[in-house]
Amino acid sequence: MLKIDNKASCYLTMALSVLFFAGLIVCAVGLVPYLNTVSSTIEAADRPVVIGIGYAVLVLAAAADGLLFALLRRVQKEAVFTAESVALLRGISWCCVAAGVLFVWLGSYFLLSYAVAFVAVLVGICLRVVKNVIAEATEIKSENDLTV
């Protein structure tokens, strides 16, 4: 299997994060025109709700992407096991869970949204576990730093 060093992996992930953010901008610009093309499935009275949920999900995704980028910058600086990194992971996980809740709400309009909601909440839960592991490692590192 292809293995790249940590520095290159971090730069690759940062590039993907920037591309993802650019994709979010494209989605934000194209959301309303897209919903107008599928308007037959959405009643006129419900269209503002769907648009509002769509933009709320985009805002949460942008926030999570920004937090991820900040976390990657901390990885570059080798400052992973800190309270700030734990806080960034916590923020990303809550963004995922909140997006999952919004996708459940959107499920009444688009059935596939329930699957997306499941995945978003699962990713949020996985990130909570990682956050707990990093928090524990941070505490152990802090204790070891005081010992030495």
Instruction: Please give the share of the chain, as a percent, with pLDDT higher than 90.
Output: 66
Residue spans per domain, the chain: 6-147
What is the predicted pLDDT for the residue at 145? 76
Whether residue 110 is predicted with pLDDT greater than 80 in this model: the reply is yes
Q: Quick one: average pLDDT of 107-119?
A: 93
Radius of gyration of the chain (CA): 19
Residue 47 has pLDDT above 90, yes or no: no
Which element (helix H / strand E) includes 33? helix 6-37
| Secondary structure letter of residue 2 according to DSSP | -
Calculated CA dihedral for residues 96, 97, 98, 102, nearest 10 degrees: 100
- Using CA atoms, how far residue 97 sits from 19, 87, 106, in Å, is 22, 15, 14
Q: Quickly state the pLDDT bin for 34 (edges 50, 70, 90).
A: confident
Q: Please, are residues 134 and 86 in contact by the beta-carbon 8 Å criterion?
A: yes
C-alpha 91/C-alpha 110 separation (Å) is 27
Query: Is 16's pLDDT higher than 90?
Result: yes
CB 71 within 8 A of CB 85: yes
Q: What digits encode the pLDDT tens for the residues 69-107? A: 999 999 999 888 999 999 999 999 999 999 999 999 999
Q: Which amino acid is at 34?
A: Y
pLDDT band for 33, please (50, 70, 90 cuts): confident
